[in-house]
Amino acid sequence: MTPGVVVLTGPTASGKSGLALALAERFDAEIVGADSRQIYRGMPIGTAAPNAISRARVRHHLIEFLDPRERYSAARFVADALIAIAEIHARGKRAIVAGGTGFYIRALTGDVTLSSAYDATVRDRLAREARLHPSDVLHDWLAALAPARAATIAPNDPYRVARALELVLTARSGAQRADAIGGQSLRSQGIPYRKLLLTVPPEQLESNIARRVDAMLADGLLEEAERIGADAVAADAVGYREALAYLAGWSTQAELRAQLFRNTRRYAKRQATWFRSEPDLEALPAGDAFSSAVEQAGALPGWA
């Protein structure tokens, strides 16, 4: 019997990492990260990656393994995550996938079709447009062509905006047929799973975000951002743009804190919007998340 997989998600600062850790210790499981920024090395403060103590308690995968200047894709994540899950199962352990990148989770479970579309001409054109126009202009272009896709991407996320435009324009030109990357997913491999959504009341989430912002600043976010630099792919994550702007003299300390709080809260709201359209999510009630997650996990094959 193929063991099932627990997939745990939720907005930033909701407590996913702590809940995943508690579940992993309860069920002798290992954790596979599903966060598009925690994959990068040397960025634990701004990405809130699991710290050394957590990783000593429970083995983690797909955390801080990539250079911040390297591109990564959902298709690559699916391939890497499935390999990690297979290795976990081979050791007789259970697997928990935990993270807040909704598109990664949707791709891993098989609820979205990934595209391998690529056209050098289109990519070169978009690179020129990106040099001439700010990201929000390209986002408006994307919204005109594919409004549903544009709604899932922040206007100030230049990489995802450009990639989405590339896929839309390439598909329109007929340069390459979009298809699933090898058909890989938990569903296609016959691996049972439960998708659990950790929710917290808005006021609690805002309080969590405020504490996280203060902790990041106290722990050295500014030094981390300066070390990573503005040219890194990963530097477009919330926190780094604001920190680099402060270091360039464009804001005061009070403005920096306010921007970090506001933009993190906006990111959490975008995640919540995404999760509302996520198929088969089981919400974990606030205040009883661990007991509910244990019950949901226990219903999976190999978890009783």
Per-residue pLDDT tens over the stretch 136-152: 888 888 888 878 778 87
Structure tokens of 1?
A: 């019997």
| Amino acid present at 8 | L
The class level of CATH for 5-113+181-298 reads: alpha beta
CA atoms of 189 and 79, how far apart (whole Å):
12
What are the b/e assignments for 240-267, b being 16+ CB within 10 Å?
bbbbbbbeeeebeeeebbebbbebbbeb
Residue 174 confidence (pLDDT): 47
Span(s) in the chain for CATH 3.40.50.300 = 5-113+181-298
Residue 183 confidence (pLDDT): 58
* DSSP-derived 3-state class of residue 272: helix
Residue 104 confidence (pLDDT): 93
Which tens digit of pLDDT belongs to each residue from 152-168?
Answer: 788 888 877 887 888 77
In degrees and rounded to multiples of 5, residue 8 shows phi and psi of -115, 125
- Tell me, yes or no, if the pTM score tops 0.85: no
Mean pLDDT of the chain: 89
Span(s) in the chain for CATH 1.10.20.140 = 120-173
How far CA 160 is from CA of 103, 128, 236, in Å, comes to: 11, 16, 10
Q: What is the largest CA-CA distance in the chain?
A: 59
Instruction: Report DSSP state, residue 35.
Output: -
CA atoms of 294 and 22, how far apart (whole Å):
10
Mean pLDDT to the nearest integer, 231-240: 91
Dihedral Cα 167, 35, 69, 149, nearest 10 deg: 20
**More confident site: 230 or 160:** 230
Contact 75, 116 (CB under 8 A): yes
Q: Which residues contact 125 (CB under 8 A, 6 or more apart)?
A: none
**More confident site: 75 or 65:** 65
Residue 72 confidence (pLDDT): 84
Would you give the distance in Å from CA 221 to the centre of its chain?
A: 19
Contact 138, 158 (CB under 8 A): yes
CA atoms of 208 and 267, how far apart (whole Å):
14
Number of Cβ atoms within 10 Å of the Cβ of 83: 14
CATH 3.40.50.970 fits 120-173, yes or no: no
Which tens digit of pLDDT belongs to each residue from 179-223?
Answer: 333 458 999 999 999 999 999 999 999 999 999 999 999 999 999
pLDDT of 251 higher than 70:
yes
